[in-house]
Amino acid sequence: MELENKLEKSDEQLVSLIKEGEVEYFREIVERYEKKIFFYVRRFLNNQDDARDLTQDVFVKVYKNIQSFDSEKRFSPWIYRIAHNEAVNIIKKKIREPLNFFDPEVLFPHPVANEDPQSDAEKNEIKKALEECLEDMDEKYKEVLILRYFEDMDYKDIAEILKIPVVTVGVRLNRGKDKLREIYEKKFK
């Protein structure tokens, strides 16, 4: 397979060749789409390592399902749809994962994060510091943080309460945690 011939082929032609058993062409599909898919799923996940893992998962799924691709259609929407579905599945999975409020490393880096709070007094001290930081936050971030970490609600319930999409809940939680860290570092360091 010459490089020139490979580059002249459309995505759909490459997929047809792969479907006919010339699997070496799959490398070209990966080279064409790897960065694009990575940046696409990164916007969903806000975490580079998760985005890398998901990008690999997308290509595994594409390879396994390439025979079902309709070669009469465009390939790029098909691969992006797989990437989208996989990202949504990861987000749904993360929504269901319980997040312990008293895991301080999740919210902010601090020496306390390496300790296991033994007493109610220590837990209350952490909660008081967080409440103090929350006072300085924008309402839209404060309300999702409070509902999630103080009220232990899931994303779906928060979305229903605030009348916003579930994805917006996730975005606000991520941004809120970042802002909370900034405020904490200013106040307590």
What was the pLDDT predicted at 107? 53
What is the rounded CA–CA span in Å between residue 164 and residue 74? Answer: 34
What was the pLDDT predicted at 119? 61
What is the rounded CA–CA span in Å between residue 163 and residue 159? Answer: 5
C-alpha torsion sign, points 158, 161, 165, 171: negative
What was the pLDDT predicted at 46? 66
Whether 61 and 82 have beta carbons less than 8 Å apart is answered as yes
What was the pLDDT predicted at 113? 41
What was the pLDDT predicted at 112? 43
Please tell me the total number of residues recorded for the chain in this structure: 189
Domains and CATH numbers, the chain: 3-96 (1.10.1740.10), 104-188 (1.10.10.10)
What was the pLDDT predicted at 101? 45
Q: Which residues contact 164 (CB under 8 A, 6 or more apart)?
A: 172
Model pTM above 0.85:
no
What was the pLDDT predicted at 102? 43
Q: Which residues contact 28 (CB under 8 A, 6 or more apart)?
A: 6, 9, 14
Query: Mean pLDDT of residues grouped by 10 in the chain (189 residues)?
Result: 62 94 95 90 78 94 94 86 83 60 48 48 68 80 78 78 87 89 83
